[in-house]
Structure 1
Amino acid sequence: MPFKSITLLFCFVQGYGIAQMSDFEHINFTKANNIAQLHQGQKLDNLPLLAYQLTYKLPTEVEKFRAIYFWVCQNIKGDNAQQNKVARAQETYKGNESGYLEWNTNYKSIAFKTLRKSNKTMCTGYAYLIRELCHLSNIECKIVNGYGRTVEANIGSLDVVNHSWNAVKLNNKWYLCDASWSSGYIDAYGTFISTYNDGYFLTEPAFFSKTHFPKDTTWLLTKTMSAEDFIQAPLLYGEAYKYDIQPKSPKKMNLIINKGDTIAFSFVSPNHFSGTISMVRFIGEKEKEYPINDLKYSNGSISFTYTFNHKGSFDTHIKVNTDLIASYTIKVRRKKAQQIHETEGL
């Protein structure tokens, strides 16, 4: 379950294909969503009945899965107490992955009991419930364990395995999804904020791997991401998936340039994108916008440039409308150089 707090940013310092939802452009999910909402608040004491009620009126595998996924995201809350307990264990077992995995295995029974009793859990509980409801609906589904990249984890190096999500087989093809991150987030005060993000539902694998790196790399479902690429890439937030905006260049979060250098930023976007792009940094709690240049929207891409004329280190954030989607740390050295940095090397 991701945390969301602007004040935490960087104190710790998601060609591209079309998202896999495009495989189901001919499917209208309204009926599946309505069925899930019809059973709002249902308890988990009878999973076979719940699975049947969510799926029996739906004709296709993907609609059945949509109803299951949407119901879980709308009815299960993130548990901050469990999250904190797991975070303490991850810190205790840092550098001892086998020790942490043993602790986690023993803790799962407690977590699943809490899930069934109070409809509250953490990421593994979401993945477990999705798998169980799929199994009861004759849909093949796996739990995938690995590394979730956030402002607090897997920045610069891989920590212990800290996240779980699902792979689901629909029409003989595997897809990826994350009900935990779709359901909402825990804010700086430890309160779960329920806000559905459809961007983690059947996400295109190369994009999904920007924030999810599986321990078993078979579940990348793509060969375009290495562990080194994963920990060095720009930091993405949930809103990048909400808007389906994928960073193309620069390729790394931490950049070192010379005073006077210009960086070219580019992103892959939906053809219908109509949001407002900006680049900002925070000075204390105040936000300062950079005067970006050459902003272009064309053929599913967004690009702009900015020239860094002052020496120093800058935590730089890309926004769509009022939402942060990506962050970079840019160190500007004194020496001047006249060049534009394209994709290669950045």
Structure 2
Amino acid sequence: MIVFSWLPVKSTLLILSCCFCFSFNLKAQITDDKANDFAKADSMAALYPNHSLINLKELADKLTKPLDTDVDKFRAIFRWVCDNIESDYSFYVKNKAKREKLNDKPEELEQWNKQSNPYFFRRLLHDHKTICSGYAYLVKELCFQAGITCKIIDGYGRTVDANIGGTGIPNHSWNAVYLANQWYLCDATWSSGVIDSEQKQFISQFDEAYFLAPPALFVRNHYPLDTAWTLLKEKPTLHQFLNGPLIYKKLFSYNASPVYPETFTATATKGEKFSFRFNKGSGLEIKKVELQLVQGSRTISVYPKLYTDAEGLTTIDYVFTHKGTYVVHILFNGDYVVTYTVTVSSK
């Protein structure tokens, strides 16, 4: 029996601060219909709720032995981790503050990591609670026990309160997995649920968005320290990543990528047409578009028409009638997909 074999007893593991996906009040894919194609794998994951992590070989065998392909086996592992591990919000807050404070003090940061490791692993092992590093390590170790090649990728995660502009802080971990002779990207932390920012609690809610996600979309809010793990021939720079539009996971369902504005902050002229443009692939149909325009405590919603322009891009036009700076949220079918900040001036 393998007992605690996956815990590095004297590890100097880099525990990243691990940004969460927060609930927002306001294909490099193997399949387009994942939920249906992975019904058997998901059912295997559902057979073992709250299974002990003491013997990972036993858990990996239970999840994967009845399945025929590595793709299905990985899905069962990924789904089990997402459904049975909770994000540790209190530790996240404490760790985030420490990492931001010690970002320019590597020796003190390393010491903090060493001190935190025992708590980090006990919390995962006994309480099934962790931060992104724990999710990524658990996915990797279960894959190892199942004979699947999987790596941990460290880098920058971008959310409503992390890595918006500036020079960036490495704060997140996710996985790359080798399936069917190809590398894929996934993020069990962000697929497992969301943090309710008002209640400050984790809400378990599995989401397909970050399971074997298209690299061109994945890189919009995941930027690896080693850029080879973008899995892209044309890699964005860190500056482009930190200053691009802020996207949300629902955008993945529509397989749409923002083209213009290229940056999170944009300028427009009062009384003149301003366009938001997307490269839209196969995905959910966009039946309704909403722009939420926020100025201070005032929010108005408008519902412009969606059309395909001469360059084949999915386009939304709007004319700003007042000067000022707006936070502009774009919603498809009621789902938040992209946010910009637009400053409107006179001609």
Q: TM-score, normalised by structure 1?
A: 0.86
> Could you tell me how far 1:162 is from its partner in structure 2?
0.4
Q: Secondary structure at the match of 1:126?
A: helix
> Could you tell me how far 1:322 is from its partner in structure 2?
2.5
Match of 1:217 in 2: 227
Where does 1:23-102 land on structure 2 (aligned, <5 Å)? Answer: 28-96=37-105, 99-101=108-110
Letter in 1 for 2:29: Q
> Could you tell me how far 1:257 is from its partner in structure 2?
2.4
Q: Does residue 207 in structure 1 map to residue 234 in structure 2? A: no
> Could you tell me how far 1:101 is from its partner in structure 2?
4.9
Contact 2:23 2:195 in 1 (8 A): no
Where does 1:276-315 land on structure 2 (aligned, <5 Å)? Answer: 276-282=288-294, 287-293=299-305, 295-296=306-307, 302-315=314-327
Closer, same or farther: CA 240–176 of 1 in aligned 2, 3 Å: same
Match of 1:184 in 2: 193
Match of 1:342 in 2: none
Identity level (%): 39
Pick one of 322, 330, 333 that aligns with 1:321. Answer: 333
Per-residue CA distance 1:97-125 (angstroms, 9 max, x = gap): 56435533542332122101001111000
Closer, same or farther: CA 85–56 of 1 in aligned 2, 3 Å: same
Alpha-carbon distance in 2 for matches of 1:101, 1:146? 17
Q: Secondary structure at the match of 1:246?
A: strand
> Could you tell me how far 1:163 is from its partner in structure 2?
0.3
Alpha-carbon distance in 2 for matches of 1:61, 1:157? 40
Q: Does residue 151 in structure 1 map to residue 160 in structure 2? A: yes
Letter in 1 for 2:263: K
Per-residue CA distance 1:17-72 (angstroms, 9 max, x = gap): x34234998x9211101100111221212211000000001111111000000010
Pick one of 265, 274, 283 that aligns with 1:254. Answer: 265
Closer, same or farther: CA 284–308 of 1 in aligned 2, 3 Å: closer
Closer, same or farther: CA 50–250 of 1 in aligned 2, 3 Å: same
Q: Secondary structure at the match of 2:217?
A: helix
Letter in 1 for 2:89: N
> Could you tell me how far 1:284 is from its partner in structure 2?
5.7
Contact 1:100 1:160 in 2 (8 A): no
Letter in 1 for 2:325: S
Match of 2:22 in 1: 4
Question: Comparing 48-57 with 260-269, which one deviates more in the overlay?
Answer: 260-269
Alpha-carbon distance in 1 for matches of 2:187, 2:265? 27
Pick one of 174, 196, 199 that aligns with 1:165. Answer: 174
| Root-mean-square deviation (Å) | 2.5
Letter in 2 for 1:180: T
> Could you tell me how far 1:269 is from its partner in structure 2?
3.6
Per-residue CA distance 1:138-165 (angstroms, 9 max, x = gap): 1111111100001111111233210000
Q: Does residue 229 in structure 1 map to residue 240 in structure 2? A: yes
Closer, same or farther: CA 64–5 of 1 in aligned 2, 3 Å: closer
Match of 2:3 in 1: none
> Could you tell me how far 1:218 is from its partner in structure 2?
1.5
Question: Comparing 145-154 with 252-261, which one deviates more in the overlay?
Answer: 252-261
Closer, same or farther: CA 5–203 of 1 in aligned 2, 3 Å: closer
Q: Secondary structure at the match of 2:139?
A: helix
Match of 1:343 in 2: none
Number of equivalenced pairs: 324
Closer, same or farther: CA 105–212 of 1 in aligned 2, 3 Å: farther
Q: Secondary structure at the match of 1:21?
A: coil
Alpha-carbon distance in 1 for matches of 2:182, 2:121? 29
Closer, same or farther: CA 63–272 of 1 in aligned 2, 3 Å: same
